[in-house]
Amino acid sequence: MSELSGIYKRQRKYMFLLLSVYVLGWGFTDYQSVFLGLLLGTALSLFNLWLLVRRTERFGEAIVNGTKVRSLGMITRMASAVLAVMVALEYPEKIHLISVVVGLMTSYIVIMIDYFFQSFHLHK
């Protein structure tokens, strides 16, 4: 398993933990639209993280093999974010827009927190 795959597995566990907390929040609180927005945004954020990891691995293989390098899929990741916002705008009574945007940023927050934990763990 490559180092990138190990990092992705660890971050994916954190994301699934957050998603389960959001499901519990959606089911047991009065803030269902907020938690549904967080669920939608975080689910698409997890998809974007998976897509980035997959494309990065292909990018590395292309560099090693000396073949033509394709993009890392920025347009696809942006399109998924636009899709999430469009869904939130279509159903504003069910899905909170700000929560969707925060959920879309979740993978980047998880990446930073994971980096700090790992660097602290290595220096310990």
Q: What is the pLDDT of residues 8-46, one digit of tens each?
A: 999 999 999 999 999 999 999 999 999 999 999 999 999
This model's pTM is above 0.95: no
d(CA 122, CA 124): 6
The structure tokens 């959001």 sit at 22
Structure-block tokens of residue 12: 């994916």
Are 65 and 101 in contact, with CB atoms under 8 Å apart?
Answer: no
pLDDT of 101 higher than 60: yes
Are 30 and 48 in contact, with CB atoms under 8 Å apart?
Answer: no
